[in-house]
């Protein structure tokens, strides 16, 4: 099967519908990260047909994710569409700080470019709205960065429709990045139809909901030393319902000749308005499996069966961040 590509609006670029999410290689929440494996995972994207890498200023205590991307790409940087983000960073106590003032975005963008060893990125996101800075001010600075050639296009992540509209009034908006998966479908009611109407690409993260929907979790898995223990989808009856859903999906996946993870990615990409799904990976085998979510289609009958399973599972309890 071959990778599919879709236009990145307001550019002449095309991006693979499966992208490499570079959060896991940052080493912030995944123990035992090995740089050699991370570098091999990034380089595996070339063979897998993945040409879109998604990172951020705050992916790592000191920008480890961006630095690893630069090291892995070397003289092949021009073959990749790189996205990074600004407006979030880690405070002194490792708390998340929202700061999207124009001067902060400029400083973070320029530092990201140095880490990535490049003079521009193809896509620069406002990582999240800053409650103390109007979205219009943040968007205006990203527009100035575009005008200076430091990014070819602009994106916004984790926003409401009203915030997207405010951003788009100040800066041409190419892409929106929200969380979205089988159990987290809120965007279907608001931001996803808005993006479809406005011609904005939707690149979704958390397709596996932090690994839950990847189909590899055992029932006896415990989360004592795992940040996921704070999420309701990993607790008690909710976890049991989710694991039962995975077992039901496994039968449909077997019919298609694909893994549960690939089925989940395919379902995600066949939802109207979804352009691309960002898949975290830290080993080459994970990259290869993720790439297998492209190049084939679920039938209408299979999609309908999946919807019945999701309806039977009931409204899930999820935590966003």
Active site residues: 59
The CA distance from 20 to 132, in Å, is 31
Nearest partner of 104 among 83, 128, 69, 82, judged by Cα:
128
The CA distance from 245 to 261, in Å, is 13
The neighbour count for residue 239, using CB atoms within 10 Å, is 18
């Amino acid at each position: 099967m071959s990778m599919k590509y879709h236009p990145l609006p307001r550019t002449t670029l095309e991006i693979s519908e499966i992208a490499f999410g570079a959060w896991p290689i940052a080493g912030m929440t995944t123990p035992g990260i090995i740089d050699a494996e991370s570098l091999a995972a990034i380089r595996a994207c070339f063979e897998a047909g993945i040409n879109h890498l998604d990172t951020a200023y705050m992916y790592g205590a000191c920008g480890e994710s961006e630095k690893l991307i630069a090291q892995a790409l070397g003289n092949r940087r021009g073959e990749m569409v790189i996205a990074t983000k600004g407006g979030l960073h880690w405070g002194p106590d490792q708390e998340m700080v929202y700061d999207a003032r124009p001067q902060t975005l400029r400083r973070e963008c320029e530092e990201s470019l140095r880490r990535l060893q490049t003079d521009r990125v193809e896509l620069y996101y406002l990582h999240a709205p800053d409650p103390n800075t109007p979205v219009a001010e943040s968007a205006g600075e990203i527009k100035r960065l575009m005008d200076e050639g430091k990014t070819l296009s602009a994106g916004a992540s984790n926003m409401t429709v009203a915030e997207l509209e405010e951003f788009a009034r100040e800066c041409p908006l190419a892409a929106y990045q929200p969380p979205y998966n089988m159990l987290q479908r809120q965007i279907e009611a608001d931001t996803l139809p808005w993006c479809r109407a406005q011609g904005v690409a939707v690149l979704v993260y958390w397709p596996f909901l932090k690994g839950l929907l990847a189909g590899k979790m055992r029932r006896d898995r415990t989360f004592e030393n795992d940040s996921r223990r704070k999420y309701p989808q990993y607790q008690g009856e909710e976890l049991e319902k989710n694991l039962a859903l995975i077992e039901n999906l496994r039968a449909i996946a077997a019919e298609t000749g694909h893994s549960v993870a690939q089925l989940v990615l395919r379902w995600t990409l066949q939802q109207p308005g979804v352009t691309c799904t960002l898949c975290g990976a830290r080993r080459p085998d994970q990259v290869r499996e993720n790439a297998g979510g492209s190049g084939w289609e679920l039938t209408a009958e299979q999609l309908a069966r999946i919807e019945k399973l999701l309806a039977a599972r009931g409204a899930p309890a999820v935590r966003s961040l």
